[in-house]
Amino acid sequence: MSTTTTTTTTTSLFSSAPYIPPDAIFALTAQYNVDPSPVKVNLGQGTYRDDNGQPWVLPSVREARKAILENGLYHEYLPILGLKGLRDGVAKLIFGGGYDALAQKLATSQAVSGTGSLHLAGALIKSVTPKHLLEKRKVYIPAPTWSNHHLLFSSLGFDVVPFTYYNAHTKSLDIDSYLSALRSAEPASVFILHACAHNPTGLDPTVEQWKEIGAIVKDRGLFPVFDAAYLGFNSGDYDADAWAIRYFAAELGIECAVCASFAKNMGLYGERVGAVIIVTADGTTARNTQSVLESLQRSEISNPPAFGARIAETVLGDERLKGLWFEDLRTMSGRIAEMRRALVEGLGRYAPEHDWGHLVRQSGMFGFLGLSKEVVLALRDEYHIYMADNSRISIAGLNTGNVEYVARSIGEVLAREQ
């Protein structure tokens, strides 16, 4: 009796999946974590650290969290659009004295931190764009920018176009190229604008330059999307950091999107608390737009996470806690500014042949050192100082115990490059 064996070749559904390298910043932190050196410095990931190099729970957040727990913490679903108190509180905070005039024109939704806010805004723009216009609606992002901007909008199917933001030769904002990109873009093109504390360069337009940008945006009928991850965290003054958003929406009457996050400015990194606010032309448009946001939110995450959102809502809804939070913002921004000054002073001592004036012109969490990749790798391999390959550093990773070491190490590597 004979038997017949049939061999079946199984082809994986995922056989065509490419290998995508890990995110550079998270991979850098992973490399830092396994480095056994007793002397090492992480200047990669943008998270605030105190002068002991430790995470800091803001006093305002600690009090809000205590109040929530004392009143009873429930794990019920939030509404699809999230906590109304949070949504209204964020909008009032961002638009300040201009909120009342804009309130009926706003469509809002809670979102999963800054990333989720940007993705939801992008999905909204895609959803309301007629199919025959979708290929023409380009999304312009500054070069350089936060790496996730490319991924977010290209994954939604948009043609992502970089425009020159930074002049590497002068180590300054290239305002001429910026304005030229605005003037040459087709009407209804989307521009991603950092509201403040540009990541990675730390260079923001001046008030007068923002006015030039706003005039062109209005004249050309462009749609700005403000990435507002650092409001209040940049200068310690929330009103100052939100100036450009308020000017575009209240003064110029421009439709726009604001993508807010409380990761940095409340230290709620892992809680993923954010909100997207759409400024529309009128109340009817706002109502319709909000219904689209709700539908998109339902299809993507059903409803947003609650605990961090309740913390932010509690802080914004209590005048005493909000005042304490504003003090926390000044504490964080003040320490970062102090470390920036200390680094510049140290570099002036250890690498005096180089001009470090560009670091003084920058602000916020990040510093763009302007070092070559070879120098960056030497600092990583020999001195255990970790920073992005483009020499962007998180100033918050510096403290009184390591800033001298970092400045001296940079000076030593640069001296060898001469």
Q: Where are the domains of the chain?
A: 24-56+334-417, 77-317
> Distance between CA atoms of 279 and 100, rounded to whole angstroms?
13
> Distance between CA atoms of 229 and 194, rounded to whole angstroms?
8
List residues with catalytic annotation.
Answer: 146, 227, 264
> Distance between CA atoms of 213 and 217, rounded to whole angstroms?
6
- What pLDDT does 392 receive? 93
226 closest CA partner among 176, 180, 277, 152: 277
CATH fold for the domain made of 24-56+334-417: Aspartate Aminotransferase, domain 1 (3.90.1150)
Mean pLDDT of the chain: 94
309-339 confidence digits (pLDDT tens): 999 999 999 999 999 999 999 999 999 999 9
- Of the CA atoms within 13 Å of residue 327, those in its CB half-sphere come to 10
259-290 confidence digits (pLDDT tens): 999 999 999 999 999 999 999 999 999 999 99
The CA–CA distances, whole Å, from 180 to 13, 164, 189, 194, 201 equal: 46, 9, 14, 18, 20
CATH code at 77-317: 3.40.640.10
> In the 8-state DSSP scheme, what is residue 249?
I
pTM: 0.92
The CA–CA distances, whole Å, from 322 to 93, 153, 266, 332 equal: 10, 34, 11, 15
392 closest CA partner among 174, 168, 237, 196: 168
182 closest CA partner among 240, 140, 138: 140
232 closest CA partner among 193, 198, 273, 264: 264
> In the 8-state DSSP scheme, what is residue 384?
-
